[in-house]
Chain A
Amino acid sequence: MQREANVKLKEVIFSLCKLVAGLGVEAVPSPETFRRGKFNRRDGTADLWKLLYSLLKPLHPDCPCVSNKADLALQVDFVKSVLLHYGYGVQELYQLPADGSEGSRELLLALSWLFHRINLLEQLLYKTRLSLGDETTLSLGGTPLVEDSPGLSAVREGGGGGARYLEWLQGQLRFHWRALHAAQEEKAALLYKIHSLTNDPSTVGLLSRKCDSNFNGSQVEMVRKIHTYTKGCHSDPSISHLSVAETRLIKGPRQQSRMLMLLESEITLLESYLEWKRLEPLYWRWMESVLDAKLADDSQEVLNADTVAMASGVKRKDKDSCQRNQSMKREVDQLSKELLELKWGLQREASTKRASWCKRVEHKEQDIPLNPEEFGAIALKLHDRVGQKLSALRCNNVKPATNTTYRLLLQETTKQKTLPVHSGETEASQVIKELKGRESDLLSELIKLRSDCKDEMLEMMARVDGIIFIPPLKR
């Protein structure tokens, strides 16, 4: 029974290793390493650290902790900071030494936690998938949090000249942004041209004919026939036009064999993923045994646990070297402080206002007729007005920022009911409407901030003698 279980386990781990290798991880540890990890052996630990690092690196390419050097200490740091970012709360992992020599069991537990919690494997599969459509990323919802800008320190250092240099740089940035904007518009216009042209089957024939003269004419004819017999140009009838990549394929038949190879490798990868999914329940059962082993060990060690280690673990968390985590912590602290202040401020305001209102109500009560019907009508009216005012005050829900990729399809407008933006499919006009709404919100906020700033400056200038303040000409 034990040996059968072992064999099964080896099969499971082997499929996991195959999947991970397919995802592009370079140094995949052997199944033996995993097995040894359960017993917290030291020898495979470095491999497990490296595995975690390679799995997490593609998900966080912008984090400054990522480096190309194969420095184990840096990789350990990176893995720890990413786990902290996702909220992994097991203290023992963060107490593991930086040279990566201990804690293979903790690493196994962390790895499985990541599989479950953030769908690690699925995310990596999604990243490496092949896409033939024209795609665009949309970031919807969420308000950008203003970080502590490094530019301010430059101003303090550079004196008067520093401010002007900053203005110069800001101007440069604005021009760069405008050039980018123009390029995006050009891209959209050309994409529209391709999509609308390939909606018509006859033009595809033209495209095919214009391609390489080496290409066999009869094959072109066959392709054309296929296309004219199918509705529109795409084999998928819901998508009736070709994308840029597909058009290029038609024009360059040599690329088709390359595309075929890529598709085949993706199919193998997906097959290995399916295999893994089939064996996954066994993996979780094995993980349970790992967890049991850990708890058994811990119950022995808990008597020896020194509070100093715990304290140092906590301190080490504070010294988390990842810049992003530090800045996020700062922001969260700031927000909670502001929230608390806001709460106390509102309470104070509310109590004073309530006192004054009570007095007013007392005065008014003498005027209001005690006739129940009229009173009811007046009360309803008041209720409505208050409700309106409250809804106007209520600011928009701050939705979390989402960055999703959408495939672009040119379709005739259907008379369907409009779909909400966050669902799988959406219309461009819908997205534009939502973005325009956000733009107007942000603009009104900007105008308010500007006028606040101006008032503040006028106030300051009023205190200084002998200087006239001339605001810049209105834009």
Chain B
Amino acid sequence: MSIVTVQLGQCGNQIGQELFNVISNDTHSSCGQCPKTENEAYSVCSQERFFSEGRNGAVSARAVLVDMEPKVISHAISTAAKSGRWKYGDQSSFCQKQGSGNNWANGFCVHGPRHEEDIMDLIRREVEKCDRLGGFFNMMSMAGGTGSGMGTYITQCLRGTYPHSFILNQVTWPYGTGEVIVQNYNSVLTLSHLYQSSDAILVHENDTVHKICAQLMNIKQISFKDVNKVIAHQLGSVLQPAYTEGASEYNRNPLGDLMKSMVCHPEYKLLGLRNIPQMSEASLAYSVFTWPGLLKHLRQMLIANAKMEEGVDWQVRPPADGLPLAEKGTRNRRFNTSLANLLILRGKDVQSADTGGFMDPALYTSWLPPGVASSTWRTPMSFNRYEKSATLVSNSQFLLKPLDGIVGKAWNMFASRAYVHQYTQFGISEEDFLDSFTALEQIIASYTHL
């Protein structure tokens, strides 16, 4: 079952290239502690999912690269070809000469419709190469113009052309003190429109990843490449093959299984990732982990809404049983209620890992039983040279504060109609803005009352 990746905009293309790198390296490194059959099954499954074989055995990624400027795409293609193990297909990129100028309306109303046919043609060719389409994985950023505006438009087209496919959007949340002044507008418009056409929205916050690089990986001069590598590692740990509960073969429907466990309710589509351990390669060799330790840490990260391993508030506890519903509003605000959680465990002795801590009904909202809300995938194969690695995909209140922040800032700007003319001149009216704000307020309200 194959996933077609659509890389949109500068951010999407850079992260996408790193992601394929990570996957290719992971597939080709053999795991010493697993039997050969296991290794083979894993690499065959992963290869089928992300790469296609050409006539002369050349391995090319199942990806379509889209950007308005040629610089990033050509860089990505050349870096991929240099690796020697994989490359991008010859006819799978689309670019123009001039960018979108960080204008969402430009991307959505002008560039999108203009180039829709060409881009959908490229995607269609990739889809035809697949024996079975497992879904689309769109990568974009929220702050820019091409990624967010055109990316949203392309997602809408995908939904129209392939109404029964699974669409997972990966969005990169901009830095809080970002350089693009209209990034809040772009973010609001992107999220509200993606909610209609996409099945699930997986969020990465630049601030968080930056902190991970600084504090956990001890990188002094953090470049975008480092940030992208971390994000690619986290994404790879979700998308690489694993066994769902009770299965005897690697799951052939990764996006479908992910969505079945996480985003069945149409109002709750925002997903967050936590991955531990994360450390620099130098210290990797000297660290030993145990599953109970990792899982306990991860659980506390979930409850206390911590974004990374360090600085976790261990004081936060889930509410005691029997707390009446009326007091829900005054409940410990720092406690993070989840709707659904998915644990992905990779590495040695994974069968012995006990995930009972995540089945605690106090962690979850009242109307979904923990048996349904919590699921686990496992594989004994180690991932990306980490002997043990645990990832938590969570549909919870963790994005509530950042979302509230962005909407608040955008509303302040909108109230004084700052920069709105840039959008209205391309076709996004004030009505559209109001609709988007309404939609996001609804999402915030749903998550608050979880």
Contacts and interface: CB of A to CB of B under 8 A. Distances in A.
Interface string B158-182: 0000001110000000000000000
A473 B266 contact: no
B134 interface: yes
Nearest to B256: A179
Given A158-B367, A161-B366, A164-B367, A175 B132 contact: no
Given A168-B368, A172-B260, A178-B256, A186 B131 contact: yes
A473 B435 contact: yes
Contacts of B264: 167-172, 174-175
A417 B259 CA distance: 47
A190 interface: yes
A473 B431 CA distance: 13
Given A165-B367, A473-B196, A183 B132 contact: yes
Contacts of B220: none
Contact of A182 (B134, B196, B263): B134
Contacts of A183: 132
Given A169-B264, A178-B256, A182-B164, A470 B368 contact: no
A452 interface: no
Nearest to B159: A475
Given A158-B367, A168-B368, A473-B439, A186 B265 contact: no
Interface in B369-409: 372
Contacts of B359: none
Contacts of B259: 175
Interface string A177-220: 01101110110011000000000000000000000000000000
A448 interface: no
Interface footprint category on A: 20 to 34
B166 A171 contact: no
A68 B371 CA distance: 31
Interface in A152-166: 158, 160-162, 164-165
Contacts of A185: 132-133
User: Interface residues of A: mostly helix, strand, loop or mixed?
Assistant: helix
B196 A181 contact: no
Given A164-B367, A165-B367, A178 B165 contact: yes
Given A158-B367, A161-B367, A172-B264, A475 B132 contact: no
Contact of A176 (B260, B266, B438, B442): B260
B266 A167 contact: yes
A65 B218 CA distance: 68
Contacts of A165: 367-368
Contact of B132 (A168, A186, A470): A186
Interface in B122-169: 131-134, 164-166
B155 to A, nearest CB: 14
Nearest to A161: B367
B253 interface: yes
B131 A190 contact: yes
Interface string B248-261: 00000100100110
Contacts of B165: 178, 182
Contacts of B195: 473
B424 to A, nearest CB: 20
Contact of B133 (A160, A182, A473): A182
Interface string B265-290: 11000000000000000000000000
A169 B373 CA distance: 11
A460 B23 CA distance: 55
Contacts of A158: 367
Which of A164, A167, A176, A185 gathers the greatest number of chain B CB atoms within 10 Å? Answer: A164
A293 B114 CA distance: 86
A185 B263 CA distance: 24
Interface in A110-158: 158
Nearest to A169: B264
B39 to A, nearest CB: 26
Nearest to A174: B264
Contacts of A475: 196
Contact of B266 (A161, A171, A189): A171
Contact of B253 (A160, A171, A179): A179
23 contacts: A158-B367, A160-B367, A161-B366, A167-B265, A167-B266, A168-B264, A168-B265, A169-B264, A171-B264, A171-B265, A171-B266, A175-B166, A175-B256, A175-B260, A181-B164, A182-B132, A182-B253, A183-B132, A185-B132, A186-B132, A189-B132, A190-B131, A475-B196
